[in-house]
């Protein structure tokens, strides 16, 4: 190839990249999009409730369904008829409140959908109870408007032990039981795709076994609690002693998150499920400084709709 032609190719590639066409031609890359980065059941003004999207070969894998997940998926450019796989880490409401509604919203698109949902004991009942909750609507519409019955568009896969959750040609998903008292069925997930391995901690206290589970992963998305703000919050609400006890027993400080990332030897650490998750006075530097004391790799402070 002549020099002139080569530089033309280089220029064309640069132009395609600028136009965003390169990204579209690169859809096979495994992508992570943080849909909701706030921890806890309250609604915040700055962050949506917990949910993380992984795209493998452009197929969406939704991990946790905090309130707002349907809208956040759409905001991330994923039309709801593309819903295919859901994973729930545990049954606190900030992780499952919109689970049923997401299924319903996907079904309501009228497109043929088939969803496989994975999660710990209780997921089957949660699914049935949601359809019971919306029974009147579902049956009225089926008789009046026709279309598909959302109750037939979901397959639930419940488990009560860690191990292989599902496996396809594209990805192997495994789970690790983590420490999130008083809930005993709380899991982290690991996605091993061909080009990338990703671990999502779910909710957990400092748990060194998680580092073994996350060994060598490219990306660890870990929950994080900023202790100085927790202390401030608790001091303002004297009755919150029990909340304080729960937070300290069931979640991980930013320092301890750094220890896990180093023990695991991951390349990138992403802080998400932030507690407190709606305090814009906490800077990114403050979020990351605790972890940086122990982890020398790349640290990303999660924000809604950020792609990693
Ligand atoms: Zn949570
Ligand atoms: Zn929780």
User: Using one digit for the tens of pLDDT, what is the confidence trace for 231-250?
Assistant: 887 787 777 778 888 888 99
Give strand ranges (E) for the chain: 31-36, 51-56, 59-63, 85-87, 115-120, 154-159, 163-167, 171-177, 187-193, 197-200, 219-225, 268-275, 298-301
pLDDT at 71 over 80: yes
**How much distance in Å is there from the Cα of 25 to the middle of ligand 1?**
35
**How much distance in Å is there from the Cα of 171 to the middle of ligand 1?**
25
Cis peptide before 102 (omega within 30 of 0): no
Give strand ranges (E) for 66-186: 85-87, 115-120, 154-159, 163-167, 171-177
Average pLDDT over residues 25-46: 89
131: its two tokens: 């359809």
**How much distance in Å is there from the Cα of 307 to the middle of ligand 2?**
24
pLDDT at 138: 97
pLDDT at 18: 43
pLDDT at 1 over 70: no
pLDDT at 24: 45
**How much distance in Å is there from the Cα of 204 to the middle of ligand 2?**
8
Cross-strand bridge partners of residue 51? 36
Q: Whole-prediction pTM value?
A: 0.90
pLDDT at 200 over 90: yes
**How much distance in Å is there from the Cα of 64 to the middle of ligand 1?**
9
User: Using one digit for the tens of pLDDT, what is the confidence trace for 104-114?
Assistant: 999 999 999 99
2: its two tokens: 């002549």
Q: Rounded distance, CA 59 to CA 57, Å?
A: 5
Tell me the backbone φ, ψ of residue 97, rounded to 5 degrees.
-60, -35
User: Using one digit for the tens of pLDDT, what is the confidence trace for 220-236?
Assistant: 999 999 999 988 877 87
**How much distance in Å is there from the Cα of 273 to the middle of ligand 1?**
7
**How much distance in Å is there from the Cα of 299 to the middle of ligand 2?**
23
Average pLDDT over residues 271-293: 96
Average pLDDT, the chain: 92
Upper half-sphere CA count for residue 94 (Cβ side, 13 Å): 22
């Amino acid at each position: 190839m002549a020099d002139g032609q080569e530089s033309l190719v280089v220029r064309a590639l640069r132009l395609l990249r600028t136009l965003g066409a390169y990204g579209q031609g690169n859809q096979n890359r495994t992508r992570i999009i943080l849909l909701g980065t706030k921890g806890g059941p309250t609604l915040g003004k700055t962050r949506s409730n917990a949910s993380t999207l992984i795209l493998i070969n452009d197929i969406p894998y939704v991990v946790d369904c905090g309130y707002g997940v349907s809208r956040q998926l759409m905001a991330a450019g994923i039309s709801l008829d593309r819903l295919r796989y859901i994973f729930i880490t545990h049954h606190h409401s900030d992780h499952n409140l919109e689970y049923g509604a997401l299924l319903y919203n996907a079904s309501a698109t009228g497109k043929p959908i088939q969803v496989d949902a994975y999660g710990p004991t209780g997921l089957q009942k949660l699914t049935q109870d949601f359809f019971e909750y919306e029974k009147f609507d579902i049956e009225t519409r089926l008789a009046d408007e026709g279309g598909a019955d959302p109750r037939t568009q979901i397959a639930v896969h419940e488990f009560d032990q860690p191990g292989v959750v599902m496996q396809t040609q594209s990805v192997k998903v495994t789970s690790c039981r983590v420490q999130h008292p008083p809930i005993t069925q709380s899991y982290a997930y690991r996605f091993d795709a061909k080009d990338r391995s990703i671990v999502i901690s779910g909710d957990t206290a400092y748990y060194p076994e998680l580092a073994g589970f996350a060994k060598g992963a490219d990306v660890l998305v870990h929950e994080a609690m900023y202790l100085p703000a927790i202390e401030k919050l608790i001091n303002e609400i004297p009755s919150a002693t029990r909340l304080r006890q729960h937070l300290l027993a069931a979640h991980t400080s930013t320092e301890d998150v750094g220890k896990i990332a180093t023990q695991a030897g991951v390349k990138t650490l992403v802080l998400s499920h932030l507690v407190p998750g709606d305090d814009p006075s906490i800077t990114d530097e403050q979020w990351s400084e605790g972890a940086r004391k122990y982890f020398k790799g790349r640290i990303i402070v999660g924000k809604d709709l950020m792609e990693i």
